[in-house]
Amino acid sequence: MPSRGNAEAAAGILSSHLNGSPPISTPSTERALRGWWFIVFAALLIWCANLDYRKLALSDEGRYSEIPRIMAQSGDWVTPRLNGIKYFEKPPLQYWTTAAAYKVFGEHEWTARIWPAVTGFAGLLLIFVAGARLYGAAAGFYAALVLGSSLLYSGMAHILTLDMGLAFFMAMAMVGVLLGLDARSSAVTQRRWMHVAATGCALAVLSKGLVGIVLPGTAVVLYMLIKRDFGLLRRLHLVTGGLLFFAISAPWFIAVSLANPEFPHFFFIHEHFQRYTSTVHQRYQPWYYFIPILLLGILPWLLTLFDALIAAVKRPRSREFDPTLFLLIWAGFIFAFFSASGSKLPSYILPIFPALALLMGARLAEIKGRTLVWQLLPIALLALAGLYAAQFTERLASAAIPAELYRAQTPWLYAAAATSLVGMFTAMVLSWRGKTHAAIVMCALTGLTTTQLAVTSEDALSPAHSTYHLVKKLPPDLKPDTPFYSVGSYEQTLPFYLRRTVTLVEYQDEMAFGLEHEPQRWIPTIKAFEPIWNAQPYALAVMGPEMYEQLEKSKLPMQLVARDTECVFVRTPPR
């Protein structure tokens, strides 16, 4: 493993390769560079190891695997559909990439999750380049290590949601601004990076909506107000950047609006203004909700975060563009923005992690070994507490998640806690002996591996969180045209594993808007459903246990096929 001295030189070579400038190397730095490539390869191997291991689970993974499945199957790349019903809550960029992966590689768990994983890892390379240019090559490398090993970032890169794609493209916008306003660069280089920022904003908008331009734009405005540097307006290349932004982002919005006149009001008013200012999506949390999310999500770098923020605040302010001040404003504003929102989920603050990683990378590039030891000690103690607490996991058992599932998860949790404890202790020893670079690398690989083990442990709970296991119990000769009803509920993972849609009965939820415009795609009441069911020579239905008991009491003819704590599958009785 390269020493800290060679690390700076080797990172400089790597940065030069990525930036396109001719590298200058020596035999020692070339050996160090080989060590760095080994670290990158090991991280990539750990990063991709479990993408296909876990079954798709719960709402988000089911939803965002099914929409692109319909897209790939139907050939309609303009109108997103969930379970065959118009679904306009989010733009289509991730749907497009996932549908393309399905077309090329087939419909698998790993192809469903490939976009978060790829954008998450690409974010590490992006932050390395930015950190290397702004604070030095070693700082860039440490920033990438911090980002890739932080609990929330690395965890969300392996869970199928839209947030990692948004975070990556917002990071692209942030890096474009940082390097586009860097006074050390030529005018041509600055213009190119500002166009990168515009591209990042456009792709962020196509990933998750207007936050992709509102948040980066507001951060830039706040910087100019705080720094009182309005001359930056001339260096933002707003005309050419704006044209590029609209050239990338506008075509889909125009096409989907022409095909679906109801789209603009729902998407821009309901999904943005009402979502932010109200609790319409029933995701209300108190204003301090994201504080513990940040503190847990940045592990194992918790104390390093505070150290880096203090160092960033104390750093002398530059008369030119000040990247440290911009990073502080970026992270602080986005954190405050989502804290004030009426709709909150843990992954919403992901876009602040690249900015925080850059600040921490700059701090780690100059940190002393003994200081790092004391920053890692509480994390080692936390790992020790986790190792002790793992034995009590079974006490979380409930009617929804039986004790035997938690017992199956417990070995994974032991492995995660033990890995964290051993890795932190090793990093502390290395740091105490003055091998700070090796300690930082060890801490990062430990954090990434620990998170991967914890994420992988969720598969033990998949019988309660996924319909995969029940679908395996359905008749093997189930035909695509067999009537299949979802009564009083909708299990998001079901259509993906069935490889087909189901007909909703007395259930709308997030599909209410689509069903309002396509009412023929559902059955609004149980009363209307009963004669349809009775008339079918062979049909299947899925429902919750309560609905099953209700229909049994009403004497609806049903034959049990399979069930678990969450779902009951029935068929029409043989005639």
Helix (H, G, I), strand (E, B) or coil at 559: strand
Domain boundary assignment for the chain: 1-48, 114-366, 370-462, 468-571
Task: Tell me the average pLDDT across 52-81.
Answer: 95
Closest CA to 57 of 338, 359, 464, 332: 464
In this predicted structure, the answer to whether residue 333 has a pLDDT above a threshold of 80 is yes
pLDDT in tens, 409-451: 999 999 999 999 999 999 999 999 999 999 999 999 999 999 9
pLDDT band at 357, cuts 50/70/90? very high
Question: Looking at residue 16, what is its pLDDT?
Answer: 53
Report DSSP state, residue 318.
Answer: P
In this predicted structure, the answer to whether residue 25 has a pLDDT above a threshold of 60 is no
Written as one string, the DSSP assignment of 150-217 is SHHHHHHTTS--SHHHHHHHHHHHHHHHHHHS-TTS-HHHHHHHHHHHHHHHHHHHHHHSTHHHHHHH
Task: Tell me the average pLDDT across 495-523.
Answer: 94
Question: Looking at residue 284, what is its pLDDT?
Answer: 66
Single-letter amino acid code for the residue at 216: P
> Do 449 and 424 contact (CB within 8 A), yes or no?
no
pLDDT band at 5, cuts 50/70/90? low
In this predicted structure, the answer to whether residue 274 has a pLDDT above a threshold of 70 is no
In this predicted structure, the answer to whether residue 34 has a pLDDT above a threshold of 70 is no
Distances 32 to 38, 43, 322, 343 between C-alpha atoms, Å? 10, 17, 31, 47
Bin 324: left if φ > 0, else alpha if -120 < ψ < 50, else beta.
alpha
Question: Looking at residue 13, what is its pLDDT?
Answer: 52
What is the percent of the chain where pLDDT is above 70?
A: 92
Q: What does DSSP say about strands 568-571 and 559-563: parallel, antiparallel, or unpaired?
A: antiparallel
Rounded to 10 deg, the angle between the 163-180 and 187-208 helix axes is: 160
In this predicted structure, the answer to whether residue 29 has a pLDDT above a threshold of 50 is no
Question: Looking at residue 23, what is its pLDDT?
Answer: 46
Give the span between the Cα atoms of 559 and 317, in whole angstroms: 73
Of 72 and 271, more confident: 72
How far apart, in Å, do the first and last CA atoms of the chain sit? 72
Question: Looking at residue 8, what is its pLDDT?
Answer: 55
Give the span between the Cα atoms of 517 and 269, in whole angstroms: 17
Question: Looking at residue 43, what is its pLDDT?
Answer: 84
For residue 406, what are its two tokens? 């938690």
Give the span between the Cα atoms of 152 and 303, in whole angstroms: 16
pLDDT in tens, 197-248: 999 999 999 999 999 999 999 999 999 999 998 888 999 999 999 999 999 9
In this predicted structure, the answer to whether residue 280 has a pLDDT above a threshold of 70 is no
- Other residues' Cβ atoms within 10 Å of the Cβ of residue 136: 19
Residue in the block written with tokens 């992690």: 353
- Other residues' Cβ atoms within 10 Å of the Cβ of residue 248: 17
Give the span between the Cα atoms of 101 and 71, in whole angstroms: 12
pLDDT band at 58, cuts 50/70/90? confident
Give the pTM.
0.92
pLDDT in tens, 245-266: 999 999 999 999 999 999 998 8
Question: Looking at residue 325, what is its pLDDT?
Answer: 96
Closest CA to 176 of 187, 191, 163: 191
pLDDT band at 271, cuts 50/70/90? confident
Task: Tell me the average pLDDT across 345-366.
Answer: 96
Task: Tell me the average pLDDT across 519-544.
Answer: 95
Question: Looking at residue 494, what is its pLDDT?
Answer: 95
> Do 423 and 382 contact (CB within 8 A), yes or no?
no
In this predicted structure, the answer to whether residue 482 has a pLDDT above a threshold of 70 is yes
Mean pLDDT of the chain: 91
User: Cα angle at 242 between 241 and 246, to 5 degrees?
Assistant: 120
In this predicted structure, the answer to whether residue 179 has a pLDDT above a threshold of 50 is yes
pLDDT in tens, 94-117: 999 999 999 999 999 999 999 999
pLDDT band at 575, cuts 50/70/90? confident
Give the span between the Cα atoms of 82 and 364, in whole angstroms: 45
